[in-house]
């Protein structure tokens, strides 16, 4: 069953591709990157040992084309494929393709992905595993009128979700009956275009729950551990923005109950690899199963910071058929970690993607700071993919130390060329509710309605005014200088310097 | 002495700048400040205002203004000759567009649906269009009350950032 992996093809781009390549290098495994037209000189290509072109810039013509990925793996004689997150990471057909082609897919089996990827089946499995689920119903292809009948019993507000969904796609909150038909149609159309499956179902919409998830690892021999939780309540349109571990509200007792529940469903689904079981948690500590993500999560580094484990190395080792070297009683979580997702988005314009070239890029460093970037200076942020630039991950002995390090690190970023969410994160780090750990999935909409917040201090605004005025002044002045002195300067400053030096020595001036 | 009318984040500043014997002389709203600026290369410089150190990157913005990057954040800034700005104010001419009569695509993407028709009155917050960008459906809502004059796109059409989508009266 054991099979040493020597070469891994990473079927992804950006920061996660770089992240996986780093683990490969640590393990002495050769990494193969893949790239689309616009990613020819991307950072992940420069970081890979070998790189293969896989098609045009749109992901449907490159990163999502299974044939091209498989061909690249064959051509480079890779023995395994790491899918990263997004793209083909949770596609059971792709996982099956890999197996059929004799390649190791670093992730769970196609059957497990299929089972857990279908939210309706996952719900049923969770119930069987003894977990609580949110009251809800399958719409089973009913038209909106018939569906409304069913939904009335649950009570508004409700949440419409895609059965094949993920990442907030095909998901709609519906406050009242009047808005139901429209939400149903748009969720279904978005689900169909994103996943090729327009089936939707509804759940009661919990008013102010927290989103807390459990990281699990399970090997091919049935050994399973949970590595604590991650609180991901700070979300915008169901996309996580800031994650932290431990959660400010999870007691050791609750952690144990949630961890054991997660292990139950992971076992029952025959899961192999690193997985994440997501829960919604209410004020009284009751938790409801949401879904299992059958991939490495974007926010995995915070778990690495507190557990000391390298989750990508664990994934690879599990895929090689090795036994977990850690038992539940060995899991020791230390300190506090926070991740801020830095997106190329304009917070002042409703977070629309901001594309372009990074004219300056210098990420922060220093004690307790880790930055997972997919970019370097002069990188182009293409319009075709997720606009994530980097993940800032900070670690502290406790939550207050982690927060001050996050503040420091955010301010230390030097970045120009595109608009980013760095300043917005900086504002959150001073928010009273955030500091109190008083979070819910509605945190952002409640604390920053209409994106209304003071991003810049008065001092900073004044400095910007001075900087801009000086810039104008220097540019205007240069024009006059250039006209007046054109004939004066001949040769480089280097020659001028030496000429002066020579004159000095001849003149004997000491 | 060059004098500028600077607007940052909706706030106005009267900034005077002079350069004499290797030193900048700067005053903001009549208040003199000790300012040093050292070039770091390209458009970046180290700015010291009353000994407070700040690394800034000043670049040209698409709209003719400037964009200042600092502390990981960016600010849009407009700089204008002070006297010209005063004249303009007396004449009652605004800088930039008076009302946003045209609605441009805030991002490149695919128009999924146009929810309004010419002649329709819309209220602030009402959905105008649905645009799919980066695999997300974005419902674009009206920023204020207005009457739709014309629609320039249809569902299924690809748009580039800055394309005119709608016109308001």
β-pairing, B23-28 vs B11-20, is antiparallel
Answer yes or no: A295 catalytic.
Answer: yes
In a domain, B153, yes or no: yes
In a domain, B67, yes or no: yes
CB contact under 8 A, A387 and B134: yes
In a domain, A18, yes or no: yes
CA-CA distance, A151 to A149, in Å (whole number)?
A: 6
| Chain A residues whose beta carbon lies within 8 Å of the beta carbon of residue B42 | 359-360
Q: Is A381 exposed, middle or buried (0-12, 13-18, 19+ CB in 10 A)?
A: buried
Verify that A424 and A342 share a domain, yes or no: yes
CB contact under 8 A, B72 and A414: yes
Verify that B87 and B17 share a domain, yes or no: yes
Verify that A139 and A99 share a domain, yes or no: no
In a domain, A58, yes or no: yes
Q: What are phi and psi of A183, to 5 degrees?
A: -65, -40
Report the DSSP beta bridge partners of residue A174. A158
The domain that holds B72 is classified in CATH as 3.30.700.30
Verify that B82 and B108 share a domain, yes or no: no
The whole-angstrom distance between B105's CA and the closest CA on chain A is: 10
Q: Do the Cβ atoms of A32 and A5 come closer than 8 Å?
A: no
Instruction: Identify the residue with better confidence: B96 or A392.
Output: A392
State mean pLDDT over B111-133: 84
Distance of CA A266 to the CA centre of its chain: 22
State mean pLDDT over A268-287: 97
Domain boundary among B91, B118, B148: B91
Verify that A63 and A152 share a domain, yes or no: no
The whole-angstrom distance between A285's CA and the closest CA on chain B is: 32
| pLDDT confidence bin for A501, thresholds 50/70/90 | low
> Is pLDDT of B63 > 80?
no
Verify that B70 and B13 share a domain, yes or no: yes
Q: Do the Cβ atoms of A330 and A270 come closer than 8 Å?
A: no
| A 343-372 residues inside an 8 A Cβ radius of B | 349-350, 352-353, 355, 359-360
A17-31, A116-130, A183-197, A430-444: segment of lowest average pLDDT:
A183-197
Domain boundary among A86, A106, A126: A106
The domain that holds A426 is classified in CATH as 3.30.470.20
Verify that A367 and A416 share a domain, yes or no: yes
Preceding omega of A246 cis (within 30 degrees of 0): yes
State mean pLDDT over B12-29: 93
Number of domains in chain A: 4
Is ipTM strictly over 0.85?
no
In a domain, B27, yes or no: yes
CA-CA distance, B13 to B1, in Å (whole number)?
A: 16
| pLDDT confidence bin for B74, thresholds 50/70/90 | confident
Verify that A17 and A100 share a domain, yes or no: yes
CB contact under 8 A, A423 and B72: yes
Domain boundary among B91, B121, B138: B91
Among candidates A337, A340, A305, A306, which has minimal Cα distance to A410? Answer: A340
> Is pLDDT of A480 > 70?
no
Q: What are phi and psi of A497, to 5 degrees?
A: -60, -50
A34-43, A446-455, A472-481: segment of lowest average pLDDT:
A472-481
In a domain, B146, yes or no: yes
Verify that B148 and B75 share a domain, yes or no: no
Q: Indicate the residue of A412, A423, A461 with minimum beta-carbon distance to B11.
A: A461
Verify that B121 and B164 share a domain, yes or no: yes
Q: In this predicted model, what pLDDT tens digit does every residue of A333-359 receive, in sequence order?
A: 999 999 999 999 988 777 888 888 998
CB contact under 8 A, A469 and B42: no
Verify that B130 and B109 share a domain, yes or no: yes
In a domain, A292, yes or no: no
In a domain, B97, yes or no: no
Verify that A414 and A479 share a domain, yes or no: no
Verify that A29 and A100 share a domain, yes or no: yes
> Is pLDDT of B134 > 60?
yes
Instruction: Tell me what percent of the residues of chain A surpass a pLDDT of 90.
Output: 72
In a domain, B96, yes or no: no
State mean pLDDT over A181-203: 86
Verify that B137 and B61 share a domain, yes or no: no
pLDDT (0 to 100) of residue A489: 43
Verify that B115 and B164 share a domain, yes or no: yes
In a domain, B54, yes or no: yes
Q: Do the Cβ atoms of B9 and A456 come closer than 8 Å?
A: yes
Among candidates B109, B110, B108, which has minimal Cα distance to B156? Answer: B110
In a domain, A275, yes or no: no
Report the DSSP beta bridge partners of residue A173. A159
| pLDDT confidence bin for A490, thresholds 50/70/90 | very low
Verify that A102 and A140 share a domain, yes or no: no
Verify that B62 and B112 share a domain, yes or no: no
Parent domain of B136: 102-168
CA-based torsion, A209, A445, A352, A405: positive or negative:
negative
Instruction: Tell me what percent of the residues of chain B surpass a pLDDT of 70.
Output: 91
| pLDDT confidence bin for A57, thresholds 50/70/90 | very high
Number of domains in chain B: 2
| pLDDT confidence bin for B135, thresholds 50/70/90 | low
Domain boundary among B66, B91, B116: B91
Contacts of residue A161, defined as CB under 8 A and 6 or more positions apart, other chains included, come to A119, A170, A171, A187, A200, A201, A202, A203
Verify that B8 and B87 share a domain, yes or no: yes
pLDDT (0 to 100) of residue A144: 79
Q: Look-up: residue for tokens 């915070």? A: A302
Q: Indicate the residue of B72, B75, B79 with minimum beta-carbon distance to A472.
A: B79
Instruction: Identify the residue with better confidence: A341 or B20.
Output: A341
The domain that holds A37 is classified in CATH as 3.40.50.20
Q: In this predicted model, what pLDDT tens digit does every residue of A76-133 receive, in sequence order?
A: 999 999 999 999 999 999 999 999 999 999 999 999 999 999 988 999 999 999 999 9
Verify that B77 and B123 share a domain, yes or no: no
The domain that holds A195 is classified in CATH as 3.30.1490.20
pLDDT (0 to 100) of residue A487: 38
Q: In this predicted model, what pLDDT tens digit does every residue of A156-176 receive, in sequence order?
A: 999 998 888 766 778 888 998
The whole-angstrom distance between A493's CA and the closest CA on chain B is: 16
In a domain, A451, yes or no: no
Average of per-residue pLDDT values in chain A? 91
Q: Does A237 touch chain B (CB under 8 A)?
A: yes
In a domain, B56, yes or no: yes
Q: What are phi and psi of A402, to 5 degrees?
A: -60, -40
CA diameter of chain A: 102
Which of B41, B45, B74, B165 would you mutate first to test chain A, the one with the most A CBs within 10 A?
A: B74
The whole-angstrom distance between B92's CA and the closest CA on chain A is: 23
Instruction: Identify the residue with better confidence: A136 or A269.
Output: A269
The domain that holds B157 is classified in CATH as 2.40.50.100
> Is pLDDT of B95 > 60?
no
Parent domain of A51: 7-106
State mean pLDDT over A418-443: 95
In a domain, A42, yes or no: yes
| pLDDT confidence bin for B98, thresholds 50/70/90 | very low
| Chain A residues whose beta carbon lies within 8 Å of the beta carbon of residue B54 | 463, 467
Verify that B19 and B47 share a domain, yes or no: yes
């Amino acid at each position: 069953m054991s099979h040493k992996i020597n070469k891994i093809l990473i079927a992804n781009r950006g920061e996660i591709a770089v992240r996986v390549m780093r683990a490969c290098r640590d393990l002495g495994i050769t990494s193969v990157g893949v790239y689309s037209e616009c990613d020819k000189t991307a950072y992940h290509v420069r970081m890979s040992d070998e790189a293969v072109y896989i098609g045009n810039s749109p992901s449907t013509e490159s990163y999502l084309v299974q044939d091209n990925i498989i061909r690249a793996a064959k051509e480079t004689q890779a023995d395994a494929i790491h899918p990263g997150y997004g793209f083909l990471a949770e596609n059971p057909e792709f996982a099956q393709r890999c197996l059929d082609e004799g390649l190791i897919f670093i992730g769970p089996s196609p059957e497990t992905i299929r089972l857990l990827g279908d939210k309706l089946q996952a719900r049923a499995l969770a119930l069987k595993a003894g977990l609580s689920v949110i009251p809800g119903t399958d719409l089973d292809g009913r038209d909106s009128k018939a569906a409304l009948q069913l939904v009335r019993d649950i009570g508004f507000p409700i949440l419409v979700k895609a059965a094949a969904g993920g990442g907030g796609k095909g998901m709609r909150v519906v406050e009242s009956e009047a808005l139901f038909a429209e939400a149903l149609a748009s969720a279904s159309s978005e689900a169909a275009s994103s996943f090729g499956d327009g089936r939707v179902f509804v759940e009661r919409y919990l008013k102010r729950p927290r989103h807390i998830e459990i990281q699990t690892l399970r090997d091919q021999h049935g050994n399973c551990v949970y590595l604590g939780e991650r609180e991901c309540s700070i979300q915008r349109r169901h996309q996580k923005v800031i994650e932290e571990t431990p959660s400010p509200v999870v007691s050791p007792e609750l952690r144990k109950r949630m961890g054991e529940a997660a292990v139950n469903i992971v076992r029952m689904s025959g899961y192999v690899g690193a997985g994440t079981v997501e829960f919604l948690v209410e004020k009284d500590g009751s938790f409801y199963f949401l879904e299992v993500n059958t991939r490495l999560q974007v926010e995995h580094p915070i778990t690495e910071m507190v557990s000391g484990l390298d989750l990508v190395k664990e994934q690879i080792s599990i895929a090689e058929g090795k036994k977990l070297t850690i038992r539940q009683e060995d899991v020791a979580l230390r300190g506090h970690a926070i991740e801020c997702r830095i997106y190329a988005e304009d917070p002042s314009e409703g977070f629309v993607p901001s594309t372009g070239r990074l004219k300056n890029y210098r990420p922060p460093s220093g004690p307790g700071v880790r930055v997972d970037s997919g970019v370097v200076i002069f990188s182009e942020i293409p319009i075709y993919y997720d606009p994530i630039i980097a993940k800032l991950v900070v670690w502290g002995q406790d939550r207050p130390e982690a927060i001050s390090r996050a503040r420091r690190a955010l301010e230390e970023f030097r970045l120009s060329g595109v608009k980013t969410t760095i300043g917005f994160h900086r504002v959150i780090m001073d928010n009273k509710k955030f500091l109190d750990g008083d979070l819910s999935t509605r945190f952002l909409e409640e604390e920053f309605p209409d994106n209304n917040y003071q991003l810049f201090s008065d001092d900073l605004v004044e400095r910007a005014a001075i900087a801009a005025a000086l810039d104008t002044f220097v540019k205007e002045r240069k024009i006059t200088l250039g006209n007046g002195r054109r004939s004066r300067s001949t040769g480089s400053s280097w020659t001028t310097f030496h000429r002066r030096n020579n004159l000095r020595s001849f003149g004997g001036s000491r | 002495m060059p004098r500028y009318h600077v607007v940052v984040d909706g706030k106005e500043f009267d900034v005077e700048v002079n350069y004499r014997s290797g030193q900048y002389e700067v005053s903001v709203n009549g208040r003199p400040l000790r300012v040093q600026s050292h070039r770091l290369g390209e458009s970046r410089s180290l700015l010291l205002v009353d000994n407070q150190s700040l690394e800034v990157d000043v670049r040209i913005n698409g709209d003719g203004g400037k964009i200042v990057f600092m502390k990981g954040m960016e600010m849009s800034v407009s700089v204008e000759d002070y006297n010209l700005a005063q004249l303009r104010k007396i004449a009652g001419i605004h800088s930039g567009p008076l009302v946003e009569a045209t609605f441009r695509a805030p991002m490149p993407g695919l128009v999924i649906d146009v929810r309004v028709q010419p002649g329709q009155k819309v209220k602030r917050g009402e959905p105008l269009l649905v645009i799919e960008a980066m695999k997300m459906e974005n419902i674009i809502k009206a920023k204020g009350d207005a009457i739709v004059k014309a629609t320039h796109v249809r569902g299924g059409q690809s748009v580039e950032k800055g394309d005119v989508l709608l016109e308001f009266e």
